[in-house]
Amino acid sequence: MTRDPRRKMVLDDRYELRPVPLAHGGMGEVWEGHDTRLDREVAVKFLRFPSGVHDEQLVRRFVRESRITARLQHPGVPAVFDVGTHQRRPFLVMQRIHGIGVSDLIAEHDELPVGWAAAIAAQVCAVLAAAHRVSLVHRDLKPANLMLEPEGTVKVLDFGLAVALDLNDFSQITRSGQLVGTPAYMAPEQVEAGMSTPQSDLYALGCTLHQMLTGRQLFTGSTAYTTMSKQVSETPPSVRADRPDAPDELADLVLQLLAKKPED
């Protein structure tokens, strides 16, 4: 989205956007805004079209998934306030979250104290349990999508566009250069078949917990293909190789989360 930075963009005569976006990804773009009616901060997420061309199928899915996300009311998920369209691009108005990303926390502290890592993971589990009860799968859980607020609450971000992608969607988006998920956190079944289940979220949580405890990603490679190949075929090491202070029970739990087969 491009516009004159000297002019304020106002959506629906209500939401006033700041000059530059907070973040953007393959299919989403988030702007900081102000709700002029209720005098509160908001975050506004626009749909981005991967090919740059308006896609009615993506628009319909965005609207459907906006409704699903809005029904997921949990303290660990940003609240959805409103939905609309601007210049044929749909947008969501959400709760503005302040805090530090868990990815930034890892970069700052390297490995996190065991208690911190366990507390963050436990809060993420509470969110996933609520989401999975309503058949909502995140599909891109990773440290960059976790925000730690000043009082210690963990928010799980970006449930939006990934909630209802099926195998055909995966193939279509892969052909356009977009992955459904992030290679360093993708479960083997996501890599091999483009299928995501609640167990896929648990695998991603295992990758995230391993990174919080060791300060490094579980599997890396020079290309996305190399990383995904390791997710499928390489046996993960125990976190105790890097964190001998990690309790055996926690190290065993991480390995259980990282089982290659979803049924395990």
Sheet holding 10-11, edge to edge: 10-11, 15-24, 28-35, 40-47, 89-95, 80-86
In a domain, 264, yes or no: no
Mind telling me the catalytic residues? 140
> What type of residue sits at position 197?
T
Residues 244 and 144 in one domain: yes
Residues 131 and 198 in one domain: yes
| Structural domain boundaries, residue 27 | 10-95
Structure tokens at 236: 């993960």
The domain spanning residue 78 has which CATH number? 3.30.200.20
Residues 197 and 214 in one domain: yes
Q: Nearest Cα to 246, choosing from 114, 112, 119?
A: 114
Single residue among 51, 70, 95 that ends a domain in this structure: 95
Q: What is the pTM of this model?
A: 0.84
Give tens-digit pLDDT for 135-181: 788 888 999 999 999 999 999 988 754 444 443 444 333 334 455 67
State yes or no: pLDDT of 128 exceeds 50.
Answer: yes
**Start-to-end CA span in the chain (Å):** 44
Strands (E), the chain: 10-11, 15-24, 28-35, 40-47, 80-86, 89-95, 100-101, 146-148, 154-156
The 8-class DSSP code of residue 153 comes to: -
In a domain, 262, yes or no: no
Task: Give the largest CA-CA distance in the chain.
Answer: 57
Residues 54 and 123 in one domain: no
Q: Nearest Cα to 91, choosing from 69, 74, 119?
A: 69
Single residue among 37, 61, 95 that ends a domain in this structure: 95
Residues 233 and 203 in one domain: yes
Greater pLDDT, 118 or 66: 118
The domain spanning residue 226 has which CATH number? 1.10.510.10
